[in-house]
Structure 1
Amino acid sequence: MRLFFSCLFLISFFTIFSQEEKPEIKPVKIDSLYREDQFYISVTYNLLADMPEGLKRDKFSAGISAGILRDMPINKDRTIAIAAGLGLSYQNYFQNLNISKNEDGLVYAVNDYNEFVSNRFRQYLVDVPIEFRWRNSTYESHKFWRIYTGLKLSYVLSSRSVLDDGENTYKINNNPDLNRFQYGAYISAGYNTWNVYFYYGLNPLFKDVKTVSGEEVKMKTMNLGLIFYIL
């Protein structure tokens, strides 16, 4: 009887042991077709180029943009690509180009800062960036050096200028003299999330506008700041 129970115990032990399974080791899948599709956010200091004589900036003029870009690699290593996207921008400018209104329409003047209390111009835009990309990224890491450059096409959804001369406040919404379609070249460069950004407008901010002194207003926009890419 003792021999019977001993044999039964040994059979049970080997049965349990044989049922133990080794953990399955799954092979790591290499993504050879990775893309750098990215959301972006830029924060900039806004400047003006080709300004009329006497026109100056005042205070800190800031801008912010955000959007998404679709990455399309064009080489085997996927380090060179083109990308297109869609975004929104808010741009704000403090300067001394005063825009007021009388019975004849809009009047443009470059005045000294002591002749008004405040003066600013802002616009909201929808952006279509198209860029050429170089980076040394791999499928294993999203931390890499990059240089992206291209063109940005923009359409002004809304604009507003506010001039307070101490006696009257002039508010001009959706100025008809503004170039609704704007475009410019830009470049961004950096490592990982942090990248410097520079944009230069290629067409004037206003169309066919002269100041009261007869000088044409052909100023263009410039943005200098940081752009952050988020996968």
Structure 2
Amino acid sequence: MRFLKILCLFVATTAFSQEKPPVTVQDTTFFTRVDSLYREDQFYFSVTYNLLQHKPPGVALNGFSTGIGLGFLRDMPVNRKRTRAIAAGLGISYNKYHNNLQVTEAGGGYNYAILEDVSYSKNKLEQLFLDLPIELRWRNSTPESHKFYRVYLGFKLRYLLLNKTKFVGDETIVVLKNKDFNSFQIGPYLATGFNTWNFHVYYGLTPLFKSAQLNGKSIDMRTLNFGLMFYIL
């Protein structure tokens, strides 16, 4: 009997000692994998207020002139932390300018005149561009957060897809595809800010017109666009 009790105690002790410790399984359902090879700010949308620089005497803007732009930029980081990058892409932009420079067609060419002592409700220029931007990027981004400071300095080549001037007064005069406009335009730009809100400015180095004249002098107007830039992904 005593032997039987000792045997039972030995078996129970051995079985207990061979039990495996409990294994804790971590539920990773709500954990997000950190992407160390992330890219930033690859889609953009801009809203601008437009000005004209180097205007001929007497030419003025007389309304709220605005523009919009959108496009894609391929972000290509150049350092391990991915806080510096080069970006290049493709976009489209639309700009309008309410002004007092009237454009009319005459004899296969175009005439330009300042609207003085003329009653009219609208006189505007509209342009649609294909944009090819390239930029250098500095930022303090991390893989875990999309909130960071950025300074992007770039250069933009623009191709004029469409242009239109429209005068509305006693009569309506519309001029399409004016060949006096420069088809290719270039200029530097800057975008800087934090998180969602970014200041944006572009200055056109190329004159709007390539051969237009007003009162015997070349029209050397250039564009200055500034406003807000928004980035996505």
Contact 1:99 1:106 in 2 (8 A): yes
Q: Greater CA deviation, 178-187 or 32-41?
A: 32-41
Ranges in structure 1 where 5+ consecutive residues have no aligned partner: 1-17
The aligned amino acid for 1:60 is F
Contact 1:133 1:149 in 2 (8 A): yes
Partner of 1:192: 195
TM-score, normalised on structure 2? 0.85
How far 1:37 moved relative to its partner? 4.3
Take 2:61 and 2:109, find their aligned partners in 1: how far apart are those partners? 25
Identical pairs, percent: 48
RMSD across aligned positions (CA): 2.2
Partner of 1:67: 71
Partner of 1:41: 45
Contact 1:130 1:150 in 2 (8 A): yes
Partner of 2:231: 229
The aligned amino acid for 2:173 is Y
Partner of 2:218: 216
How far 1:102 moved relative to its partner? 2.2
Ranges in structure 2 where 5+ consecutive residues have no aligned partner: 1-19
CA displacement, residues 57-90 of structure 1 (integer Å, 9 cap, x when unaligned): 0110010001111101111221111101111111
Alpha carbons of 1:78 and 1:105: their partners in 2 closer, same or farther (altered >3 Å)? same
The aligned amino acid for 1:204 is P
Q: Does 1:53 align with 2:57?
A: yes
Take 2:50 and 2:41, find their aligned partners in 1: how far apart are those partners? 27
Give the secondary structure class of the aligned counterpart of 2:160.
Answer: strand
Aligned match for 1:157, one of 158, 161, 172: 161
- How many equivalent pairs are there? 213
CA displacement, residues 124-167 of structure 1 (integer Å, 9 cap, x when unaligned): 1111110010001111111000000111111111111012342x
Q: How does 1:141-180 map to 2 (within 5 A)?
A: 141-166=145-170, 168-180=171-183
Take 2:117 and 2:152, find their aligned partners in 1: how far apart are those partners? 39
Take 2:105 and 2:143, find their aligned partners in 1: how far apart are those partners? 58
TM-score, normalised on structure 1? 0.85
Aligned match for 1:107, one of 103, 108, 111: 111
The aligned amino acid for 2:143 is Y
